[in-house]
Amino acid sequence: MLNGAHIILYSADAEADRAFIRDVFGFAGVDAGSGWLIFKLPPTEIAVHPTDGVGHYEFYLICDDIEKTLTKLAAQGVTISQPISDRRWGLIASIKLPSGSDLPLYQPRHPTAYDLEN
């Protein structure tokens, strides 16, 4: 049946953002042709939230320790575009991709789907 998810990030500078994901995050990938990199992500989960209107999608990278993660990324020259915000359900922040897009990071306080593996 289903065996994964394919996430697409649209970018004004796809080549730079691909290099960032490869070099800064260290995600392994394959070349689907002509330098079009497809990255293997860490384990992924999906949540469905209610809305009054048409649905939309959000994408967050999950981390165990957001402060440590942001410190490491800043040391690599990554711009923190939104500092840590404390929410009831977790901590969130955003970093800037080379294209100028924000990429949110998330440290959940609730159980995650990864807990099913242990």
Q: Rounded to whole angstroms, what are the CA distances from 24 to 9, 46, 54, 78?
A: 17, 24, 34, 9
C-alpha to C-alpha distance for 86 and 34, rounded to whole angstroms: 42
pLDDT level of residue 117 (50, 70, 90 thresholds): low
Spatial contact of 47 and 89, defined as CB atoms under 8 Å apart: no
Q: Dump pLDDT digits (tens) for 60-69.
A: 999 999 999 9
Q: Are strands 61-62 and 37-39 parallel, antiparallel or unpaired?
A: unpaired
* pLDDT tens for each residue of 20-47: 999 999 999 999 888 889 999 988 888 8
Domains in the chain (CATH in brackets) are 14-117 (3.10.180.10)
pTM over 0.75: yes
Q: Cβ contacts of residue 46 below 8 Å, gap of 6+?
A: 5
Q: What is the dihedral of CA 117, 41, 103, 70, to 10 degrees?
A: 70
Half-sphere exposure of 39 (CA within 13 A, CB side): 19
CA distances from 75 to 23, 35, 43, 63 (A): 14, 27, 25, 17
